[in-house]
Amino acid sequence: MKQKTKPQPLDLEEIKIIISDIGKKAEQLVNYFKYKLKSACEFYLRYKDKPKLLIKEHPEYEAEFINSDFKLVRFPLPPMKTAFFIELEDGELDKYNDWLFKLAFKDIFK
């Protein structure tokens, strides 16, 4: 359901009122929704401005990160000249944070 209104803060009480007609499960549903939203927010805040930490703790996102359109600096790691340490070029952090936000809330942006 898309509404053409100004962006507003999340109001879970309003959502609970809207879905209350489904019965006793409304409270459980709202609590689960809070839990999932909190987790996504914590994910974003933990890795905001920290791409190295994201890749270290979530290697499953490394390929997506590397294949994004970020400008990356690759440093060979001696003695294994086939491995790389990757950093964002200067000025790419805002772009990374936007990408991270969309990753954290990917189901909303589908």
pLDDT digits (tens, 9 = 90+) for 21-41: 676 677 788 888 889 889 999
Residues 75 and 97 reside in one and the same domain = yes
Residues 54 and 101 reside in one and the same domain = yes
Q: Round the CA-based radius of gyration of the chain to a whole number and report it.
A: 19
Residues 54 and 95 reside in one and the same domain = yes
Confirm whether 5 is domain-assigned. Answer: no
pTM score, whole prediction: 0.71
Q: DSSP state, 98?
A: H
Domain, as residue range, for 26: 11-47
pLDDT tens digit sequence for 45-75: 999 999 888 888 998 988 888 778 877 666 5
Give the Cα separation of 84 and 49 in Å (integer): 20
**46 Cβ partners below 8 Å, 6+ apart?**
53
